Homo-oligomer: A and B are copies of this chain.
Amino acid sequence: MPYSELIQYFEQYVSLTEEEKSHINSSYKRVKLKKKDFLFKQGERCTTEAFVLKGTLRSFYVDSRGNEHVLNFALPGWWVGDLSSFYHGTDSFITVQALEDTDLLVIDPDVKEDLFNQIPSLERVFRIIVQKHLSSLQTRFLSTISETADQRYNNLLNKIPNIEQLVPQHQIASYLGILPESLSRMKKQLLEGKK
């Protein structure tokens, strides 16, 4: 059972026969990234959808002034990719990079289409994944437009309690939409004012 984490993940949603499990195992390939390696880059087509086995990654957007904005971190058990680019062949708006040595299971669009034909029940699983993706993007958007930086900081700590151990602080600042200097200042005020 080589890719048991992934199989387990799918079996949260559907049950699979031994034959289906072996289809899954032969469709996904194991990929290892070194710290700082890219999975794919903004401006290229994203032909990869990956399930994280081990490690930490970040997805980010570079704006017209060259500033990076972290959209999300990805931890074991999470998916990374750019849906639009993967399915429609458009250029990706984001870059995905490993923040430490990372193990992934990846698939490309053609193999995924074959897999859907072999195991139709996976369509349902991925419909749910897309739905969750959409709803988490909506939550993040609402939080960004309606909450202060320190509320967003608390949200992040609730979502990923050990985030401070996993990624450098300037990446956290970028996720929050502020500069590292501002995060430093904010943390100091939180400690002092205990507010």
Contact = CB atoms under 8 A, between A and B. Distances in A.
B134 A133 contact: yes
User: How many identical subunits does the complex contain?
Assistant: 2
Interface string A123-158: 000000011011101111110111100000000000
B141 A93 contact: no
A144 B141 contact: yes
B84 A145 contact: no
B146 A87 contact: no
A113 to B, nearest CB: 13
Interface of A: 61, 63-64, 67, 69, 71, 83-84, 87-88, 93, 130-131, 133-135, 137-142, 144-147, 177
